[in-house]
Structure 1
């Protein structure tokens, strides 16, 4: 029996990935049917470049986490979801502090998932957008690097 969105939100926050923990992530909202999530990230000063802006790799990681978690929430089962490709468009500099990422599942196919995410600051200014394609791997199935 599928979990309610409230149960899923609690469970997913209790079992964040090491990457999410590093990024100071917290899942604040989700709609599993639509495959939509909203996450808060603590963009630390240590994430910044010499200009004082959050370095683009951290921005991309936040977007990738939000998009992937949207797919996990929709799937409601343990799957691997390695990113095959993604594109990030940086619209405005991200500054340290709490940032929000809204991840969306666009299509959940048999083998691939098409994802999108936006990064916003505390005033809802649009900072970046990512589109991505990921491959679904049932948990327990060896990955390509694990196969002989």
Structure 2
């Protein structure tokens, strides 16, 4: 039996439990996530709810929660080593609970279907009690831009 290897997943496995500090994505740096699990088409990332991500009452602002979801889906997408970049065409988020400044949330994203033109992912965000605070689905569409590899960065 032949073993299939994925250099992006192997690279990301070496990043487990380390905060993203050298990402080429400024938004990933702002969100300050820590990769907790990676597999082909799936990623789990913990994000601290920092003051900069909160609304006036100290809860995570909905747009930043959507950014956490989009960021985690992006990591899950890259784990599949696509030939071309995809871009988000829609992001449907169901906000169920909030998270306060100082708390940590875990986003878990996985691929539902990876087609040649459209990719579909889902993501759930949990508080540390294991309660779902947001759930989402998204579609991404292929672009003409060649995908980059984490290995080449």
Please tell me the root mean square deviation across aligned C-alpha atoms, in Å.
2.3
Shift of 1:136: 2.2
Query: In the alignment, which residue of structure 2 is the partner of 1:88?
Result: 93
2:25 aligns with 17
Write the distance in 1 (CA, Å) between the matches of 2:137 and 2:79. 18
Runs of 4+ in structure 1 displaced over 6 angstroms? Answer: none
Distance 1:83 1:49 in 2: 25
- Output the TM-score relative to the length of structure 1: 0.82
Distance (whole Å) between structure 2 residues aligned to residue 110 and residue 84 of structure 1: 15
Listed as ranges, the gaps of 5+ residues in structure 2 are 148-153
- 1:39 deviates by 0.4
TM-score normalised by length of structure 2: 0.79
Is the contact made by 1:24 and 1:43 (CA closer than 8 Å) also made in structure 2? Answer: no
- Count the aligned residue pairs: 138
Mark the runs of 5 or more structure 1 residues left unpaired by the alignment: 142-148
SS class of match (1:66): helix
C-alpha spacing 1:54/1:133, structure 2 compared with 1 (3 Å) = same
Q: 2:36 aligns with which of 28, 42, 48?
A: 28
